[in-house]
Amino acid sequence: MIHSFRRIWAYRSLRELAFVLVLLVFLPSRVLCATYDCLERDGKASSIDPFRNQGSNATVFVFVRVDCPISNRYAPELNRIARLFSPRGIRFWLVYTDSSTTVAQISQHRETYQYSLDALRDPDHQLADRCIVRVTPEVSVFRRDGQLVYHGRIDDRYVDFGRYRAFAKHHDLEDTLTSILKGTSPPPSSPGVGCAISSYP
């Protein structure tokens, strides 16, 4: 009895070991080392892992769509924030999650809205899931140590479709980036308003 019990236990532990090994090898490479098609500012295309190309202080992912009017309306504000914080060790990425948007369309879109940010494609929504975003435009801010410190709206100008203030009262993205640089607490994550990233609710 004891002899067969030991054999079973040993077999089970081997299986578990194999399982853990698989997890260690494949899972991180799928999630933690994921690469995305990247379209840089100069038009150069490559495949890149943004978490290996972070800003010295923080990384910001800005989720947009070529055809979302709310997302597009934020282009000048996003460019302004990027210009302000890029020199201070913050890396910005535009992320396009719509699988039907082509590279040519992304290129055209960036030119039309004069975006100074590099772009990533995330058609499977892996990055979107990791960044906990639901709509465009929403942003996610990761500290250098990989911690997600903010996700959600850029500011509170939009409250709902068709309901917006003349001016924003809270500038959440800007405040988050300032807090990182100063070492203070970021504002709480607040959901944005815009076009759903997922086609289905």
- As given in the structure block, the two tokens for residue 157 are 């100008």
> Residue 124 interacts with other proteins (CB under 8 A)?
no
- As given in the structure block, the two tokens for residue 142 are 């990761």
What's the longest Cα–Cα distance across the chain? 79
Strands annotated E in 21-117: 36-39, 45-48, 58-64, 90-96
Q: Which of 44, 87, 100, 184 binds other proteins (CB under 8 A)?
A: 100
Strand pairing partners for 48? 36
> Residue 4 interacts with other proteins (CB under 8 A)?
no
> Residue 76 interacts with other proteins (CB under 8 A)?
yes
Query: Using an 8 Å Cβ cutoff, are 39 and 70 in contact?
Result: no
Total interface residues for other proteins by CB under 8 A: 30
Instruction: Indicate the residue among 4 and 114 with the shorter CB distance to other proteins.
Output: 114
Instruction: Indicate the residue among 74 and 142 with the shorter CB distance to other proteins.
Output: 74
- Write the CA distances from 166 to 74, 157, 159, integer angstroms: 14, 7, 11
Q: Which residue in the block uniquely carries the two structure tokens 């800007």?
A: 174
> Residue 75 interacts with other proteins (CB under 8 A)?
yes
Q: Which of 112, 146, 170, 191 binds other proteins (CB under 8 A)?
A: 112
Instruction: Indicate the residue among 36 and 158 with the shorter CB distance to other proteins.
Output: 158
> Residue 84 interacts with other proteins (CB under 8 A)?
no
Contact positions vs other proteins (CB under 8 A): 67-69, 72-77, 98, 100, 112-114, 159-167, 169, 195-196, 198-201
